[in-house]
Structure 1
Amino acid sequence: MQSNQQAFKDYLQMQKNYSLHTVKAYVKDIEEFDSFNKIHFEQDSIDIVGYPQIRSWIVSLVDSNISASSVNRKISSLKSYYKFLLRIKQIEQSPLLKHKALKTPKKIQIPFSEKEVDLVLNQIIYPDGFEGIRDKLIIDMFYTTGIRRAELINLKLSSIDLKSNTLKVIGKRNKERILPLLPIIISQIKMYIIQRNAIQDIKKTEQLFMTQKGVKLNDSLVYRLINTYFSTISEKVKKSPHILRHTFATHLLNNGADLNSVKELLGHSSLASTQVYTHSSLSELKKVYSEAHPRNQK
């Protein structure tokens, strides 16, 4: 890796506090363009290139049937790299200054209904013992806190404060936030910890959630867990931890929570990120408006 690219990697890790997974994605995208540039333009460095070279890469990506959103992500990585070069005064202008992202179809995230969540939490039968108690707590914690999958996986025993009934969450870029825990969740946590502490060699880890063998959960296991339980009661195409996070936000907004409060609970840095969850609450608002307004009764 060239020196500027290594410096960029260090910058993402140490100053931006990006996760290892995110840093790897950025580096991979930059290395792909670097390789393309060497093959097609015989240049040793991508530090000084013109937009035509980048456009050629975009064309090659599109021709290889990569989705527009994936292309945009790769170009976003490249744009961040050139912003970094500007920052350290290695270039005077980014070659992506006037670039416009490819248009992508809007993905509609359909949340679970309150009835669907109630069925999963209160009607279906969970396995006896540790796994059943753990699975229900995970689902309920997603729904009542709105935390991200990675945030849940990385929770420690010390993340929970049973005196104040709060949960300390480490979000993106190591940003910390404190979330309230409902009494029903506190009860489940206490029951789960009893089961957790009965696992052999449990003292070797501070992880809150784990497998029956005392191993830290991974992304795919948590995804399968949510998908499996919700598949028993819902015909929605997407059944994932993120949909539960979306459901948390939508149900709060439907029941009168203000956007700023939901923003803080979700750990968003700006309202723009939170506003994507408002389309469902708007649908609910339209329904209430239509049913209640006197002009619609005539």
Structure 2
Amino acid sequence: MTGSAIDEVVQRYLDHLTVEKGAAVNTVSSYRRDLVRYSRFLAQAGRSTLTAVTESDVREFLVALRRGDRDGGVAPLADSSVARTLVAARGFHKFAAAEGIVPEDVAHTVRPPKPARRLPKALAIDEVEAILEAAGAPDHPRALRDRAMLELLYSCGARISEVTALDVDDIDTEHRAVILRGKGGKERVVPVGRPAIAALEAYLVRGRPTLAKRANPALFLNVRGGRLSRQSAWQVLAEAAERAGVNKDVSPHTLRHSFATHLLDGGADVRVVQELLGHSSVTTTQVYTLVTVNTMREVYATAHPRAR
């Protein structure tokens, strides 16, 4: 069995996925495509049997996927596609070891590449203001609610789940503060700007009483008097962005990103921003400093007389 050709073991593994694991047809087809590519790579490396394959071969395969072959017309794969292909190769080697086809799993320590860290995309201040202004007619209960919610999202840099979970008692309009409950139920007190407080007071006085069909501690209510859901809050923002003419992918997290970026652009210390966002580590917050560095580079390149 140790001398089995690689293609034969690949077929056995695919049969195992189909019959014993009950994998979907599309899944098996994807694995087949990835493993055919893997077996061709091994053949080119002179590996005719699976026992001849080493951990170094698996790692070289990853390098080849990311590098591509310009002469052969093979484009390099994105990290996500490399990771998917490695999953197939690792599963294949694990199966071969479990079946006794090879003495050990040479791929179990090989890890996929870490995905590139995407920088948050912050809105310009005038875009945020346009979205807030586009929340709706000022005298309609739902519009008052929407404006208050969007103002609060941006004023506090809160997660959408934190805002929809708020109760009326969590807002302190006198001291302009709000209690947010983050991941793991960890509470933090965050200051609230005057425009957000004004919008909240207008909603509490003229909007929420109309929406409250029954006793409910929730701050933001839907038209039936229940707590507003995250999905509905998301839709409120999307519609406001569309009315404002902001032709970008805008989500509640976009306002959170914008909050952090605008604070750092204004000179705020990264550790203060960390506390406001409720990040357990400053490392998580430091991604926003990369955004502001990029912005500074752009300004420098266009404004400094001797930048080029």
TM-score normalised to the size of structure 1?
Answer: 0.63
Tell me the residue number matched to 1:190: 201
* Counterpart residue number, 2:213: 201
After TM superposition, which residue ranges in structure 1, 4 or more long, deviate above 4 angstroms?
A: 59-62, 96-99, 290-295
- The CA distance in 1 between the partners of 2:199 and 2:126, in whole Å, is 21
Find out whether 1:122 has 2:136 as its counterpart: no
Q: Residue 254 of structure 1: which of 252, 257, 265 is its match?
A: 265
The answer to whether 1:134 aligns with 2:136 is no
Distance change (3 Å), C-alpha of 1:62 and 1:101 = farther
Decide whether the 8 Å contact of 2:162 with 2:181 is kept in 1.
Answer: yes
| 1:267 paired to 2:267 | no
Return the alpha-carbon distance in structure 2 between the equivalents of residues 112 and 176 of structure 1: 27
Cα deviation digits, residues 246-266 of structure 1 (max 9, x gap): 111111111111111111100
| 1:280-291 correspondence runs (5 A) | 280-290=291-301
One-letter code aligned to 1:280 = V
1:277 to 269, 288, 308: 288
Q: Counterpart of 1:285 in structure 2: which amino acid? A: M
- 1:98-125 Cα distance to aligned partner (Å, 9 max, x none): 4634443544432111111122223675
Within 5 A, what are the aligned runs for 1:106-255?
A: 106-122=117-133, 125-126=136-137, 128-194=139-205, 195-202=207-214, 204-232=215-243, 233-236=245-248, 238-255=249-266
Look at both structures and tell me which one has the larger radius of gyration over its CA atoms: 2
Q: Secondary structure at the match of 1:286?
A: helix
- Give 1:207's aligned amino acid: A
Write the distance in 1 (CA, Å) between the matches of 2:80 and 2:134.
41
Assess if the C-alpha contact under 8 Å between 2:148 and 2:196 holds in 1.
yes
Instruction: Please tell me whether the aligned partners of residues 145 and 248 of structure 1 are also in contact (alpha carbons under 8 angstroms).
Output: yes
Query: Structure 1 123/193 Cα, relative in aligned 2: closer, same or farther at 3 Å?
Result: closer
Q: How many residues align?
A: 220
- Kindly state the Cα deviation for residue 134 of structure 1 after the two structures are TM-superposed: 0.8
Deviation (angstroms), 1:200: 4.5
Deviations along 1:185-227, one digit per CA (max 9) or x if unpaired, are 222111111121233434x210000112211111211111111
Task: Give 1:267 deviation, angstroms.
Answer: 0.2
The CA distance in 2 between the partners of 1:63 and 1:141, in whole Å, is: 47
Map of 2:91 onto structure 1: none
CA distance in 2, matches of 1:180, 1:61: 54
Structure-1 separation of matches of 2:233 and 2:185: 21
In 1, Cα distance between equivalents of 2:303 and 2:288: 24
Contact 1:209 1:217 in 2 (8 A): yes
User: In 2, distance between residues paired with 1:62 and 1:294?
Assistant: 54
Q: 1:124 to 1:149 in 2, by over 3 A?
A: closer
Q: Which runs of 5+ in 1 are unaligned?
A: 1-35, 41-58, 76-95
Give the letter for the 2:264 counterpart: L
Matches within 5 A, 1:54-133: 63=31, 68=80, 98=109, 100-122=111-133, 125-126=136-137, 128-133=139-144
* Aligned 8 A contact 1:126 1:136 in 2: no
Q: Structure 1 residue 279: deviation in Å?
A: 2.8
- Alignment-mate amino acid for residue 174 of structure 2: K
Whether the aligned pair in 1 keeps the contact of 2:157 and 2:259 (CA below 8 Å) is: yes
Amino-acid identity (%): 29
What whole-Å deviation, never above 9, does each CA across 1:124-169 have from its counterpart, x for those lacking one? 7536411111111111111110000110110011111223221001
The aligned residue for residue 29 of structure 1 is: none
Q: Does structure 2 conserve the Cα–Cα contact (< 8 Å) formed by 1:62 and 1:68?
A: no
Instruction: Confirm or deny: 8 A CA contact 1:140 1:185 kept in the other structure.
Output: yes
- Distance in 1 (CA, whole Å) between partners of 2:139 and 2:193 is 24
Q: Please give the TM-score of this superposition, normalised by the length of structure 2.
A: 0.62
Do the aligned partners of residues 200 and 242 (structure 1) sit closer, same or farther apart at CA in structure 2, a change above 3 Å counting? closer
